[in-house]
Structure 1
């Protein structure tokens, strides 16, 4: 039997420090991610006839990250449930810093080989999934159950805030060399820089280091079952446990498959958005005397404003106390319609409005989903179960990224977004009438005998 220990008395304070430290890394990665898109669209493949190469580069790097993060999730989850979770997060932060500085070095080359960028992107995805597994499994050892929706909302807010602050900071850093050239203040050793993309990666690398320093001063407990070696478990059995747990709970599986469809439809947005801005909205931002960087930043920031507001709302409100599945499905329908509206847009203003609504929906659906899972899975099992959950829900993300790149190379990016959005809205609306998924919270809660390891899920 697996016990369900109460969070430490100072657990909430520790979580706030942990949340704050990891927020630094999230913000730094948002700066680097936006700068990388600018590097590909403006520096590496600036010509209109290079659209196929640009689509390939955007999709290949995103696909490498997504495949590595998704396919290694069961391994990361099993590792999380067998080792100290604080140590895993600390190692991941340090490795993230090392890889980020590695990308910085590649971007200083005249033309870094695309395969090296793809490789490092895959390694970043691998490190990220280990960190995410340990972090997600640490909530219930720190946060009282009644505060879980608030904690989830806080994390959703940070992800959205990163999208808001990241592009602004990245755009500022990218423009530094040009600004210094105008004032003849550019140091000689920086004279070869076309833009400040490497500066963005320097900020990201430092954010990983700072997050690791703060984490090194915190005590993040792992359940006794994780660190106890008196009853050794087979690694193979641990790898299979998450599948058995979820497979015996059809409502949870139905919820996961719904997210799989959502990721199939929506994960390609990272590839489509730069292409839509560069080709579909070019007439609008060019007529206003704007630039591609400014237009892309406007859309990213607007979507993030919606995400921040949605995150603040769910953090203050705390979300639905019953029928939380409605807090997942209804926002998901709206997000599909917003994605289709983005595809229909012909101006930056309308595209921004659609992405604002899209961003507004994410915190609600993710926070409600996370709260459902945290209430159903005991802490000592969360690494294994949540990793399989991540794999099932996100296995379509790499496929979505690849399809977006292939389709956008042949068709208008807006048309791809329209079809994806309408498909998402239709499938999710049908799930409102699915009696299985509506029973997702009827199962045993954390702490009951049926939820213990060795019970129906074991």
Structure 2
């Protein structure tokens, strides 16, 4: 045993806590970059389509690389996968910093589409890290506390969304986009340092691994076969795919909708309110852990989210929209934490990487299309309909208002309705309702420190 491994933190709870703390810090830096780059793209293009294309390239690698990432997570040391993913993320932010610096120096003219490749690269790194951390969580946390652990993970994301817009609005003025990107690099270094201080346990080998690793293609298919043979999980996956489609359309269009009646500083305040909702939702899940029947937490949270969208679509009001955004994002940790706990409990740890990758790929299959279509739908269909002399100005326009941004508001009403209908359809499915009773729990022994090592 090396001296490095003796010094590493090995107590499972402490390992999770350190990794989570690193994720909390890096989430703040990532939020700074996403907000700053998003505002740059929209203000320099004045196009919802170009703005939504940035989201499209951010989602695409999550879907395309998920099967490969899941197989590698199960084949390789999960801690090393996370380390390499963080190094890749640092390189990606450095690339964006180089692009912005070159523009400021007059070496070339920076365009919105120049960010598409770095955003895709960052998304690819995030895919590997997210799957590795998700598959490791069940090895570190007892199954009765998985809801709380997943709530804390959502809390880290929510903290970034809460603080980043406010800080970004100040920092971009003081130190520019280059400075914001350098801060993001420093936060990734903190996450990298946390990973270097711990030792993550690896799952026991499954039967395929003991007989010798099958070809990569066979490894990837295993995840789909596991889900397909369990109708309850398949139903949950279909429901999650629909919810993700609606959620991406909502989040992509928040910025142009708010900027249609408010300033960028007001947008920062609204996004902060949304982040506050996610933060408080994460705290709630971290303390509460979710309902005993986790499927009720998943469905109930999404029902509330659908109704929040209707409130957000009402005639332009910063306070009403901010309140609706708070409620909508509050439901996210509750729904995500409940769903994730079901999957972590029902899927054996040795194959979680492959199963979670398949789940991620299928659940995220629709969002890239949604991000690609969001701009054209808003620019060419819904906004013209809701213009002051548009097709729906004298009907729906009397309720939602007319003019810039009101087409997106109408789309929010439709998305809220579709979300509520999806929840009702899931409630009517006996396989989804009984998924926690029909499927046996995977064996999860209580996590303990590795023998001979100290946390």
TM-score range, shorter chain: 0.7 to 0.9
- Write the mapping of 1:245-284 to structure 2, written as runs, cut at 5 A: 245-279=226-260, 281-282=261-262
Tell me which residue corresponds to 2:308: 338
**Unaligned segments of structure 2, at least 5 residues:** 1-8, 384-406, 445-455
1:316-371 deviation digits (Å, cap 9, x = unpaired): 112122x2111000110111111232122411011001101101111110000011
Contact 2:313 2:410 in 1 (8 A): yes
Query: CA shift at 1:228, angstroms?
Result: 6.5
Q: How far, CA to CA, are the matches of 2:155 and 2:149 in structure 1?
A: 10
Say if 2:216 is the partner of 1:242.
no
Q: Using the TM superposition, name which of 413-422 and 70-79 deviates more.
A: 413-422
Tell me which residue corresponds to 2:439: 443
Tell me which residue corresponds to 2:54: 61
Query: CA shift at 1:232, angstroms?
Result: 2.5
User: Structure 1: which 4+ aligned runs deviate by more than 3 Å?
Assistant: 226-230
1:162-182 deviation digits (Å, cap 9, x = unpaired): 1101111111101215xxxxx
- Provide closer, same or farther for how the CA distance between residues 343 and 86 of structure 1 changes in structure 2, counting only shifts above 3 A: same
Q: How far, CA to CA, are the matches of 1:225 and 1:116 in structure 2?
A: 43
Tell me which residue corresponds to 1:297: 268
Contact 1:60 1:402 in 2 (8 A): yes
Q: Using the TM superposition, name which of 107-116 and 212-221 deviates more.
A: 107-116
1:48-79 deviation digits (Å, cap 9, x = unpaired): xx4xxx21221111101101111110110001
Contact 1:99 1:124 in 2 (8 A): yes
TM-score normalised by structure 1 residue count: 0.85
Tell me which residue corresponds to 1:17: 18
- Provide closer, same or farther for how the CA distance between residues 230 and 200 of structure 1 changes in structure 2, counting only shifts above 3 A: same
The alignment yields a C-alpha RMSD, in angstroms, of 1.8
Tell me which residue corresponds to 1:80: 73
Contact 2:26 2:188 in 1 (8 A): yes
Q: 74, 79, 94: which one pairs with 2:87?
A: 94
Contact 1:344 1:415 in 2 (8 A): no
Q: How far, CA to CA, are the matches of 1:429 and 1:95 in structure 2?
A: 42
Q: How far, CA to CA, are the matches of 1:248 and 1:229 in structure 2?
A: 23
Contact 2:274 2:325 in 1 (8 A): yes
- Write the mapping of 1:301-312 to structure 2, written as runs, cut at 5 A: 301-312=272-283
Tell me which residue corresponds to 1:4: none
- Provide closer, same or farther for how the CA distance between residues 229 and 444 of structure 1 changes in structure 2, counting only shifts above 3 A: closer
Tell me which residue corresponds to 2:409: 414
Contact 1:266 1:400 in 2 (8 A): no
Contact 2:41 2:112 in 1 (8 A): no
Contact 1:266 1:421 in 2 (8 A): no
Say if 2:419 is the partner of 1:424.
yes
**Unaligned segments of structure 1, at least 5 residues:** 1-7, 178-195, 283-291, 449-458
Q: How far, CA to CA, are the matches of 2:112 and 2:161 in structure 1?
A: 25
Q: 183, 208, 216: which one pairs with 2:196?
A: 216
Query: CA shift at 1:94, angstroms?
Result: 0.8
- Write the mapping of 1:9-408 to structure 2, written as runs, cut at 5 A: 10-42=11-43, 44-45=44-45, 50=46, 54-108=47-101, 109=103, 111-176=109-174, 196-225=176-205, 231-279=212-260, 281-282=261-262, 292-321=263-292, 323-408=293-378
Q: How far, CA to CA, are the matches of 2:113 and 2:372 in structure 1?
A: 16
Tell me which residue corresponds to 1:191: none
Contact 2:10 2:199 in 1 (8 A): no
Q: How far, CA to CA, are the matches of 1:296 and 1:313 in structure 2?
A: 26
Contact 2:10 2:198 in 1 (8 A): no
Q: How far, CA to CA, are the matches of 1:347 and 1:268 in structure 2?
A: 20
Query: CA shift at 1:255, angstroms?
Result: 0.8
1:387-418 deviation digits (Å, cap 9, x = unpaired): 11111212111122122111111222212222
1:208-252 deviation digits (Å, cap 9, x = unpaired): 122112211210121132897772222111010000000001111
Contact 2:152 2:283 in 1 (8 A): yes
Aligned length: 404
1:139-172 deviation digits (Å, cap 9, x = unpaired): 0111122221111111111111111011111111
Q: How far, CA to CA, are the matches of 2:10 and 2:34 in structure 1?
A: 37
Q: How far, CA to CA, are the matches of 1:430 and 1:264 in structure 2?
A: 16
Contact 2:36 2:172 in 1 (8 A): yes
Q: How far, CA to CA, are the matches of 2:284 and 2:194 in structure 1?
A: 28
